[in-house]
């Protein structure tokens, strides 16, 4: 709207829309601020929002800007969804607004897909529109890489499909896709894109190339999944708890306090050459740590074997108390 838009931006928007099987798409400078602003643009004070309790912080922040009614359902729980939807219908009838459901294609901490099929099956029974944040599903799930909706056979029932470029594209920026009328509305009402410059040109050109790689080389996605399967099977065989992951996100849950978690990832990074992100309280319950691994298509069998063995070793050290803060940093108690 302001400046910086070019034919390359438009080309990327067209190619993204085609890739995720939607009519139109709009680029966003960042996923986090983009989705906040999209939710803000979509909802008027009369509208009602229904959302999964485990949604990403950026969705929560978007919903916090909404001054109308909101109802949260238990994570991936269709009975809870219906219960909240019934309340939403009453509220929307009273206010004269519509209902927006917001969930994720892949929940990035647990690695579980959102229950898009179950939710969209209820579209005939209840009148709502669906916005899906598919940050981890884009490029990795579905036959063509169009994401969790394609994987579950319901891509056409997602009204607005959102993804960041920060995962499978290993870049910066994001996009939202849907039908032309809604996208046109968003172009004129998404404040984070109106009162800011557009996505910088080097990122646009880079993202065009990355999208081309996703499209032209399906063997990359096949290799990614080969690596995911090897890593997850290897870890499960060693007795690790990976929850119910059915995506590339591989969460390894272990018991330990914050000090132990810090010492363990430090050991992994410095002595085993393995980087992984760590999640602790308050994102997960106190006394637990979640080590999040996400393999890529360029990891080798050796990388995976080294990782599985290293996890076996650090888990043993954790159990023996080696990462208790005094022991790990050699500090007198």
Q: How far is the CB of 71 from ligand PLP (least distance, A)?
A: 20
Who contacts 60 (Cβ-Cβ below 8 Å, separation ≥6)? none
Q: Does 32 bind ligand PLP (CB under 6 A)?
A: yes
Structure tokens at 240: 């690790």
CB 37 within 8 A of CB 62: yes
Choose the binding region for ligand PLP from 24-32, 72-80, 225-233, 275-283 (rule: CB under 6 A).
24-32
Which residue number, 155 or 164, has a Cβ lying nearer to ligand PLP?
A: 164
Which residue number, 36 or 297, has a Cβ lying nearer to ligand PLP?
A: 36
Q: How far is the CB of 28 from ligand PLP (least distance, A)?
A: 8
Among 12, 92, 158, 174, binds ligand PLP (CB under 6 A): 174
Residue nearest to ligand PLP (CB): 31
| 214-242 as b/e: b if 16+ CB within 10 A | beeeeebbebbbbbbebbbebbeeeebeb
Structure tokens at 139: 């490029």
Among 12, 20, 30, 39, binds ligand PLP (CB under 6 A): 30
Element (H, E) at 19: helix 7-19
Q: Are strands 24-28 and 250-255 parallel, antiparallel or unpaired?
A: unpaired
CB 302 within 8 A of CB 234: no
DSSP 156: G
Which residue number, 33 or 262, has a Cβ lying nearer to ligand PLP?
A: 33
Report the C-alpha gap between 117 and 259 in whole angstroms: 41
Which residue number, 19 or 30, has a Cβ lying nearer to ligand PLP?
A: 30
Phi-psi region of 139 (alpha: psi -120 to 50; beta: other; left: phi over 0): left
Element (H, E) at 133: strand 129-133
**Mutual angle of helices 7-19 and 201-216, in 10-degree steps:** 30
Q: How far is the CB of 107 from ligand PLP (least distance, A)?
A: 8
At residue 299's C-alpha, the angle toward residues 294 and 302, to 5°, is 115
Which residues 134-163 are close enough to bind ligand PLP by CB under 6 A? 135
Q: How far is the CB of 5 from ligand PLP (least distance, A)?
A: 19
Which residues 35-74 are close enough to bind ligand PLP by CB under 6 A? 35, 56, 58
Which residue number, 195 or 217, has a Cβ lying nearer to ligand PLP?
A: 195
Among 37, 103, 164, 262, binds ligand PLP (CB under 6 A): 164
Which residue number, 32 or 81, has a Cβ lying nearer to ligand PLP?
A: 32
Q: How far is the CB of 56 from ligand PLP (least distance, A)?
A: 4
Among 166, 284, 306, 310, binds ligand PLP (CB under 6 A): 166
Which residue number, 26 or 308, has a Cβ lying nearer to ligand PLP?
A: 26
Q: Which of 176, 122, 182, 115 is nearest to 148 (CA)?
A: 115
Which residue number, 174 or 315, has a Cβ lying nearer to ligand PLP?
A: 174
| Length of the chain counted residue by residue | 333
Which residues of the shown chain bind ligand PLP in the complex (CB under 6 A)?
A: 30-32, 35, 56, 58, 104, 108, 133, 135, 164, 166, 174
């Amino acid at each position: 709207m302001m400046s910086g838009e070019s034919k390359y931006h438009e080309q990327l928007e067209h190619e993204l829309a085609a890739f995720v099987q939607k009519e139109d798409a709009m680029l966003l400078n960042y996923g986090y601020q983009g989705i906040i602003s999209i939710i803000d643009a979509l909802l008027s004070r009369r509208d009602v929002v229904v959302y999964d309790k485990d949604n990403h912080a950026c969705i929560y922040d978007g919903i916090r800007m909404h001054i109308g009614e909101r109802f949260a359902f238990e994570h991936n729980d269709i009975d809870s969804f219906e219960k909240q939807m019934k309340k939403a219908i009453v509220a929307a009838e009273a206010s004269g607004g519509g209902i927006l459901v917001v969930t994720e294609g892949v929940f990035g901490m647990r690695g579980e897909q959102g229950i898009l099929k179950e939710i969209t099956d209820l579209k005939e029974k209840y009148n709502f529109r669906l916005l899906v944040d598919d940050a981890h599903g884009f490029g990795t799930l579905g036959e063509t890489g169009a994401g969790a909706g394609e994987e579950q056979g319901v891509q056409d029932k997602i009204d607005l499909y959102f993804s960041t470029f920060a995962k499978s594209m290993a870049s910066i920026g994001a996009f939202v896709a849907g039908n032309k009328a809604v996208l046109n509305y968003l172009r004129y009402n998404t404040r984070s894109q109106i009162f800011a410059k557009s996505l910088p040109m080097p990122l646009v050109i880079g993202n065009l190339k990355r999208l081309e790689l996703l499209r032209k080389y399906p063997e990359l996605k096949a290799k990614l999944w080969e690596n995911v399967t090897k890593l997850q099977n290897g870890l499960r065989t060693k007795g690790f708890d990976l929850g119910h992951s059915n995506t590339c996100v591989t969460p390894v849950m272990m018991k330990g306090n914050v000090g132990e978690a810090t010492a363990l990832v430090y050991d992994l990074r410095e002595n085993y050459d393995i980087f992984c992100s760590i999640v602790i309280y308050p994102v997960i319950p106190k006394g637990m740590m979640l080590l999040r691994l996400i393999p890529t298509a360029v990891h080798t069998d050796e990388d995976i074997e080294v990782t599985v063995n290293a996890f076996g070793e650090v888990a043993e050290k954790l159990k023996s108390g080696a990462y208790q803060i005094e022991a790990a940093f050699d500090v007198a108690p």
